[in-house]
């Protein structure tokens, strides 16, 4: 029996469907351009005719093609964001960690304010950086623990959980603290890690949609805003007598020493950044 190469064994992802539709429309538009060029002559197209049509079939020169590209790009970005936030619902640990700095983000569909807020585009870049530092096996382990926590809460309390306050629960705070304390080992040289994160974020953040987004950049001060928000709760707990006792019951002395060293390094590096502005 002949293979059916035109059929897929599984349904295409929404983003792939959008890309396929875009490819079809771009191809059809080129066919229309060639047909129109042919109709102006004797119905024949030479190699030179075809090349002339193709040369004019560019984003800058063809307004219809430009409209197709702009529309497709906007749709693909929206699909990416929808897929990402769907992932955030499926992967609760990521959502719990992002909750530590969500107050720095503008509302959905709002632009960031340089010097005051972060762009929502930092979220996927931050998650990718976090995965690199934690490693897939350990991250999956804590992701499973987050899911188990949520299922246990649902079984005990019933109904849907309040995601807006879930990160405030002690068990959720411990999960996030475990991750944050683990990655302190990568921030002992704060200036080096800052430089890496600024470069990494600029490369991996989704493209800006608006002029205000284009004017916003993840730089040295944005790094410090993010880190201060992530570690604010841990820093307050560490320097509180009862809070420190709770941390000492869960974490070894070496881990807490690294946390203290990192917090001191962040403060010193932030002063250097401010002095160099």
Tokens, residue 276: 């160099």
What are the distances in angstroms from CA 84 to CA 16, 125, 206?
15, 11, 11
pLDDT at 4: 47
121 in the same domain as 68: no
Confirm whether 84 is domain-assigned.
Answer: no
Tokens of 5: 């190469």
Same domain for 63 and 131: no
Asked if 21 and 58 sit in the same domain, the reply is yes
Expressed in percent and rounded to 5, the helix, strand and coil fractions of the chain are 75, 0, 25
Q: Give the count of domains, the chain.
A: 2
pLDDT in the model for residue 77: 66
The residue range of the domain holding 127 is 91-275
CA atoms 272, 238, 120, 189: torsion sign: positive
Residues of the chain predicted below pLDDT 50? 1-8, 85, 88
In a domain, 196, yes or no: yes
Tell me if residue 249 falls in helix, strand or coil.
helix
What pLDDT, on a 0 to 100 scale, did the predictor assign at position 5?
Answer: 42
pTM tops 0.85, yes or no:
no
Q: How many whole angstroms separate alpha carbon 52 and alpha carbon 76?
A: 30
The answer on 271 and 178 residing in a single domain is: yes
Q: Is 124 exposed, middle or buried (0-12, 13-18, 19+ CB in 10 A)?
A: buried
């Amino acid at each position: 029996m002949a293979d059916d190469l035109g059929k897929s064994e599984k349904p295409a992802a929404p983003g792939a469907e959008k890309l396929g539709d875009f490819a079809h429309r771009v191809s059809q538009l080129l066919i229309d351009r060639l047909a129109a060029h042919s109709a102006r002559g004797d119905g024949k197209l030479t190699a030179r005719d075809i090349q002339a049509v193709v040369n004019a079939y560019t984003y800058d020169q063809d307004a219809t093609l430009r409209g197709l590209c702009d529309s497709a790009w906007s749709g693909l970005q929206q699909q990416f964001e929808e897929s990402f936030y769907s992932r955030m619902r499926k992967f609760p640990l990521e959502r719990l960690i992002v909750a530590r700095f969500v107050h720095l983000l503008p509302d959905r569909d709002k632009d960031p304010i340089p010097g005051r807020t972060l762009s929502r585009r930092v979220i996927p870049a931050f998650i990718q950086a976090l995965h690199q530092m934690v490693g897939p096996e350990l991250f999956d382990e804590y992701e499973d623990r987050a899911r188990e926590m949520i299922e246990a809460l649902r079984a005990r309390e019933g109904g849907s959980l309040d995601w807006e306050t879930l990160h405030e629960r002690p068990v959720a705070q411990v999960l996030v603290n475990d991750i944050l304390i683990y990655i302190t080992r990568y921030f002992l040289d704060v200036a080096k890690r800052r430089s890496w994160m600024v470069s990494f974020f600029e490369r991996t953040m989704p493209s800006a949609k608006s002029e205000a987004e284009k004017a916003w950049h993840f730089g040295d001060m944005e790094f410090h805003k993010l880190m201060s928000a992530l570690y604010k709760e841990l820093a307050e707990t560490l320097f509180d007598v009862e809070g420190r006792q709770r941390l000492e019951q869960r974490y070894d002395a070496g881990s807490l020493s690294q946390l203290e060293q990192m917090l001191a390094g962040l403060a010193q590096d932030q002063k250097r950044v401010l002095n160099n502005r």
